[in-house]
A and B are shown apart, each in its own frame.
Chain A
Amino acid sequence: MALPIRRFPFPLSRCWLLALAALLAGCAAGCRHAAAPPVSVSAQPASAVPAGARPLFQDAAATAGIHFAQKNGATGKFYYIEETGGGCAFFDYDNDGYLDVLLIQSGPFPRKRDDADPATHSALYHNNGDGTFTDVTAGSGLDKDLGYCQGVAVGDYDNDGYDDLYITGYGGNHLLHNEHGSGKFTDVTAKAGVGDTDQGPRYATSAAFGDYDNDGRLDLYVCHYGRWSPETNRICKSVRGEPDYCTPDVLDTDVDRLYHNNGDGTFTDVSKRSGIASEKGHGLGLVWTDYDGDGRPDIYVCNDLTPAFLWHNEGQGTFKDVAAQAGCAYDENGQNMAGMGIAIGDYNNSGRESLFVTNFSALPNTLFQLQPGGTFQSMSTAANLAMPHMPFLAFGCDFLDYDADGWKDLIVANGHVTTHVDENAPGTTYRERKQLFHNDGDGRFTEITDNLGDLATPTVSRGLATGDYDNDGHIDVLVNNQNGPAQLFHNDVENGNHWVSFKTVGTKSNRDGYHAKITVFCGGKRYFSAVHSGSSYASHSDSRLYFGLGRATRIDRVEIRWPSGTKDLLNNVNPDAIYIVTEGKGITGRQPTGKRRLHSHDAR
């Protein structure tokens, strides 16, 4: 989270000083005066719903029974960690085919661990399958004080068929084992050795599971923001002198952590051995991606005002940062990004997944288009994603084909970190609306500013996850907001487009099928996606792969390449369904689909 920096592409002349000196020499003789009203600048306004139009997204949280509000615990001491929580997750903990919801709580800081204090609990909501949720936090194991939490990673680390949780925070992370979908999670952090406390308190943000050695067991990467403690915390001043949070320059950078899964419920810290401890940064967002298609998952990490990392998996358990060589370390002007969140997706249907990195206000969000050969080219401006972002400070984000037209669109959750920003920065506000960018199919995006529905409501957003929580074939959005209610945006688009979705189950590969690559061939077109852990900011989106098919009513074939090397070819796949695909077996089941029973707007 950085204040704006100089970013004119070329050094500005300092001759202004000389001109001023000349001007000053004559100033005593009388300066010029005139009436000069102040200039006004502002962000492009967005309308919730124009008269007669149906909103694209409506916040269904309250009607669906989600009443969670994140509290960052700010008390005026401007603790740095208050700025960055918290994440959220769409995941199906009981394998009933419907996405459940996890919302991460930060709470007061500092505090004594008090399991009885609900203000410290994250919240788990069970999806009832009818568009409503039930709060099942009590007794789940999440009704414990897990410390000042920031984010969440989801993955079946023990391959027992049920997704487990890894919750990050300041002063210690927690691995919560899913007890076979019973709704109970057991804290196995100590046994697993992933508490992240052995070198003193660390400030962990995003984390994600991935299988870097393709041994079928999920390893774990944890981002660290920097070396911080309440004792060394500083209160800085805003540009107008008010007390404020400091910029990241004040914190020492930190190394991230990589844990190798030993397969017996324990992990080994391989940060040094693997090479990822060779670089320090202000880590915020990460995603596992095999960007060069060599079959070995790599890791992309975006850092705040330090260069991003692209940890190329060199094999033999080692990684090398190649971000600068690959062209994704800096924005398109060669500036450090204040990278918060990452979206990954094949937005141009090239068969390659590009990266999108969110940024601070007055700095462009960056779209790194993956080129053949494993290099990236910044296309932010060409794709029209740089300029519309300028007034906003963005965290969570994801590619989502919200209108199922076969082109992945983009959603961005915004919310500033500087409470006084309304007065200090042109056109920028502390609470900000979300941004939805429609993919025009020609490499460019158009920001949707009309008909946004509740996406237009200004909030201070952090984590964002996408997923079809009611299995109606439309991707919905979950957002965790600072000091405000969480939002569950139901996608209300009704355009008759078709779609298909796949839940991957690995057998030789990791059980979640993370890193599996699916290509759908349909009506002469080709759609590609890989199963990811991580992405967005400190959050986890629906692991099922969703493909919008437009008007196509028939799928020609589907190819699945598993991380183990296994390939599955599916024929006779019908659209508008969610398939369970098992490695080596093809389609082994379907999940329930259909119209949700309770619309957000039905209850209004």
Chain B
Amino acid sequence: MTVRAGTPTLPTAARRPAAAVRLLAVLILCALLAVAWSVRSWLHTAAIHDHLDRAEAAARTGQIQQALAEWQAAIRLDPKNPRIYEMRIQFCMDTGQWARAEEALHALQQALPQTAHIYCRLAACRLRQDDQKDALDLAKEELKHDPNCVAALGLVTSAMAMQPSADEKLRLEYLSRLCRLVPNDINFQHMYAEALTNLYRYDDLRPVVAKILQLDPRDAEAYNLLGYADLASPDQPAGLQRAEQDFQTSLALNPANGGAHFGLGRVALRQGRAKEAVAQLEEGLQMRPEAVRINFDLSQAYRMAGMPKQAEAANQRFLQWQHLSTETRRLEVRCLVYPQDPRYPRQLGLLLAQNGGDPAKAAYYLKKTLQLAPGDPAALAALRRLQPASHPDSLEQATRASATPFR
């Protein structure tokens, strides 16, 4: 070793304690830092947990604003934690606050854009607010990211089912895919079966019904669907006889079964057994008074049975329903074609509100009217009469009344 002249040197033995001291100091410093970081971390986590606990407690007692504020505070402390967003989203969806769930989903999308299945949940929120068009678009967006997303497929098919006009080919394709993705989900099999029935695709329907009955041999509704397929079968009158058997089986499985009574009524009507048709159709209508269209068949049955007054009354009930149905469709189409014209959502909202139509749908179109024509007095009045429970002031109260534990 060479030592430069003029540089003081320490012997090796003397230098060792100094290095050790320095190392020790560093270690202590590190330890202190670690402790400080841990303390800070613990305090941070504790603060988040504190907010989450308070949010949960507030949610349990129906203090929605408080709960949301607590989650917001937690998110501020940990903006990249997906679990916090998810909790807030879950709460909003569980308690039916679809607009707030949407806000929370958008926040999650902004903070963590790669999060999976945001679009399908946004679609669910839109659908729950009766905005079928946006729901459909969002679910389709989800399918671009994940063509086999079961939820998005379910949503798309549901939204399409409620549209005045829809791509039936695509809907059948989606439903078919759903049924292959989730072959043992009887609900999807039912959706597919009903879609096929709507399109009179009875040949395609039969294997779907067979699958439903494989999943649940006591599924009464499946026998009803089979009954309608047999009613339309080309091999009449054998088809009528099979249909009667199907409906009888359905009724045996579920006696409180309006659909089976309607089917038996139709069979009897076709076979000219007027009195039996009247009895079956009347019983069916008693069980399912919302199925107003059956008055069409009932009117014919009454006429055939020589009951002209009853026939006319049933016909009037049918015509009233048919008029409402036709007008609803006409206005729905016009709302789509003239999206900036407040006349059509106003007419549709009022028509539904004043004629016992779907209140959610009526509210949706009345709100749409107010977006296009703020302060529209007719829409406002109808909306107030229609949905006092959905007014913002009473929302928390309603939520509290129906609150269920969400975790």
Cβ of B86 under 8 Å from chain A: yes
**Chain B residues whose CB sits within 8 angstroms of the CB of A34 once the complex forms:** 148, 180-181
Contact B333 A38 (CB under 8 A): no
| Chain A contacts to B: CB under 8 angstroms | 3-12, 16-17, 19-21, 23-25, 27-28, 30-36, 38-39, 41, 234, 236, 239-240, 246-247, 249-250, 305-307, 324-325, 327, 330, 333-334, 336, 362, 364, 375, 377, 381-382, 384, 386-387, 390, 423-426, 444
A-B pairs with beta carbons under 8 Å apart, 6 shown? A24-B155, A25-B93, A27-B120, A31-B120, A32-B150, A236-B337
**Which residue of chain A lies nearest to B200 when distances are taken between CB atoms in the complex?**
A390
Q: Give the contacting residue for B167; candidates A20, A23, A239, A384; CB below 8 A.
A: A239
**CB neighbours of B202 from chain A (8 A):** 387
Residues of chain B within 8 A (CB-CB) of A386 are 200, 232
Contact of A31 among B146, B164, B330 (CB under 8 A): B146
> Which of A3, A32, A333, A362 meets B199, CB within 8 Å?
A362
CA distance A327 to B300 in the complex (A): 8
Beyond A3-B164, A17-B127, A25-B93, 18 additional pairs, beta carbon < 8 A:
A8-B198, A10-B262, A10-B291, A23-B151, A24-B93, A24-B124, A28-B86, A31-B150, A34-B180, A36-B148, A36-B176, A246-B333, A247-B165, A249-B332, A249-B333, A305-B329, A375-B303, A424-B167
In-complex Cβ contact of A20 among B86, B124, B164, B300 (8 A)? B124
Determine how close the nearest CB of chain B comes to the CB of A438; give it in whole angstroms: 13
A19's closest neighbor in chain B, by CB? B187
In the complex, the answer to whether B177 meets A17 with C-beta atoms within 8 Å is no
Distance in angstroms between the alpha carbons of A17 and B300 in the assembled complex: 35
Contacts of B259 in A (CB 8 A): 10
**Chain A residues whose C-beta falls within 8 Å of the C-beta of B231 in the assembled complex:** 381
| Shortest Cβ gap from A310 to chain B (Å) | 14
B220 to chain A: closest CB distance in Å?
13
Residue in chain B with minimal CB distance to A10: B291
Of A20, A27, A330, the most chain B CB neighbours within 10 A belong to A20
Assess A426 versus B172: contact at CB under 8 Å? Given A25-B93, A31-B117, A34-B180.
yes
Residues of B within 8 A of A330 (CB): 296, 322
Give A10 to B287 CA distance when docked, in angstroms: 12
Q: Chain B 167-194, CB within 8 Å of chain A: the 1/0 string?
A: 1111011001100111000010001001
Q: Does B54 sit within 8 A of A, measured CB to CB? A: no
Cα A12 to Cα B176 in complex, Å, equals 19
When the two chains form their complex, are residues A8 and B333 in contact, meaning their CB atoms are under 8 A apart? no
How far, in whole Å, are A328 and B152 apart by their CA atoms in the complex?
Answer: 42
List, in ascending order, chain A residues with CB within 8 A of B151's CB.
20, 23-24, 27, 31
Residue on A with the closest CB to B202? A387
Q: Does B359 sit at the interface, judged by CB under 8 A? A: no
Q: Are A41 and B201 in contact (CB under 8 A)?
A: yes
- Contacting pair A27 B315 (CB below 8 A): no
Q: Closest residue of chain B to A383, judged by CB?
A: B236
Question: How far is the CB of A156 from the nearest CB of chain B, in Å?
Answer: 39
Q: Which A residues lie within 8 Å of B180 (CB)?
A: 34, 36
Contacts of A4 in B (CB 8 A): 165-166, 168, 199
B275 at the interface (CB under 8 A from A): no
Complex CA gap A325/B300 in Å reads 9
Q: Determine whether the beta carbon of B291 is less than 8 Å from that of A27.
A: no
Cα A28 to Cα B228 in complex, Å, equals 39
Contact A382 B319 (CB under 8 A): no
Residue numbers in B under 8 Å from A384 (CB-CB): 234, 236
Q: Contacts of B124 on A, CB cut-off 8 Å?
A: 20-21, 24
Report the minimal beta-carbon distance from B174 to chain A, rounded to whole angstroms: 9
B197 contacts A by Cβ under 8 Å: yes
Instruction: Report the Cα distance A119→B164, complex, angstroms.
Output: 38
Interface size class of B (residues with CB under 8 A): 35 or more
Chain A residues with CB under 8 Å of B166's CB are 4, 239
| Residue among A28, A247, A386 facing the most chain B CB atoms (10 A cut-off) | A28
Ranked 5 nearest A-B pairs via Cβ? A334-B296, A239-B167, A3-B165, A39-B176, A249-B333
Given A20-B124, A20-B155, A334-B296: A381 and B168 within 8 A (CB)?
A: no
CB interface residues, B 202-232, toward A, < 8 Å: 202, 204, 228, 231-232
Instruction: Decide if B146 touches A25 in the complex (CB within 8 Å).
Output: no
On whether the beta carbons of A307 and B199 are closer than 8 Å, the reply is: no
At the interface, yes or no: B302 with Cβ under 8 Å from chain A?
no
Closest to A380 in B: B232
CA of A423 to CA of B170 in the docked complex: distance in angstroms? 9
Per-residue contact bits, chain B 46-81, to A (CB 8 Å; 1 contact, 0 not):
000000000000000000000000000000000000
Taking the nearest CB of chain A, how far is it from the CB of B13, in angstroms? 65
The answer on a CB contact under 8 Å between B172 and A27 is: no
Complex alpha-carbon distance, A38 and B116, angstroms: 24
**Chain B residue at smallest Cβ distance from A421:** B169
- Name the contact of B234 in the complex, choosing from A20, A27, A31, A387 (C-beta under 8 A): A387
Q: Please tell me if the beta carbons of B149 and A31 are within 8 angstroms of each other in the complex.
A: yes
- B372 contacts partner chain A, Cβ-Cβ < 8 Å: no
Residues of A within 8 A of B94 (CB): 25
- Is B365 positioned at the interface, with any CB of A under 8 Å from its CB? no
Determine the residue in chain A with the shortest Cβ distance to B161: A12
Given contacts A307-B322, A336-B326, contact A23 B150 (CB under 8 A): yes
Q: Are A24 and B236 in contact (CB under 8 A)?
A: no
Q: Inside 8 A of A247's CB, which chain B residues have their CB? A: 165, 333
List the A residue with the shortest CB-CB distance to B167. A239
Q: Mark B117-128, 1 if CB is under 8 A from A, else 0.
A: 100110010011
CA distance A3 to B171 in the complex (A): 14
* Min CB–CB distance B67 → chain A (angstroms): 18
Residues of A within 8 A of B282 (CB): none
Cα of A28 to Cα of B120 in the assembled complex, Å: 10
**A291 to B315, alpha carbons, bound, how many Å?**
21
Residues from chain A with Cβ under 8 Å of B303 in the complex? 375
Residue on A with the closest CB to B94?
A25
Is residue B393 contacting chain A, with contact meaning CB distance below 8 A? no
Whether, in the assembled complex, B100 has its beta carbon less than 8 Å from a beta carbon of chain A, the answer is: no
Which residue from A36, A234, A382 sits with its C-beta under 8 Å from B177?
Answer: A36
Provide the residues of chain B in CB contact with A28, threshold 8 Å: 86, 116-117, 121
Residues of the B chain whose Cβ atoms lie less than 8 Å from the Cβ of A324: 315, 319
CB pair A424 B86 closer than 8 Å: no
Are A27 and B337 interface neighbours, CB within 8 A? no
Residues in chain A near residue B93, CB distance under 8 A: 21, 24-25
The answer for the CA separation of A480 and B118 in the assembled complex, in Å, is 53
- B400 at the binding interface (Cβ < 8 Å): no
Among A3, A23, A387, the most chain B Cβ lie within 10 Å of the Cβ of A23
Given the complex of chains A and B, what is the CA–CA distance between A395 and B159 in angstroms? 31
Q: What chain B residues lie within 8 Å of A240 (beta carbons)?
A: 167, 170
In the complex, the chain B residue whose C-beta lies closest to that of A381 is B232
Q: B288 and A10: CB pair below 8 A?
A: yes
| A424 contact from B169, B318, B334, Cβ within 8 A | B169
CB neighbors of A among B125-175 (8 A): 127-128, 146, 148-152, 154-155, 158, 161, 164-170, 172-173
Q: How far is the CB of B328 from chain A (nearest CB, A)?
A: 10
Q: Which residues of B contact A306 (CB under 8 A)?
A: 326
The docked-state distance in angstroms from the alpha carbon of A27 to that of B338 is 35
Question: Taking A19-B187, A32-B182, A34-B148 as contacts, is the C-beta distance between A41 and B337 under 8 angstroms?
Answer: no
* Residues of B with C-beta under 8 A to A7: 198
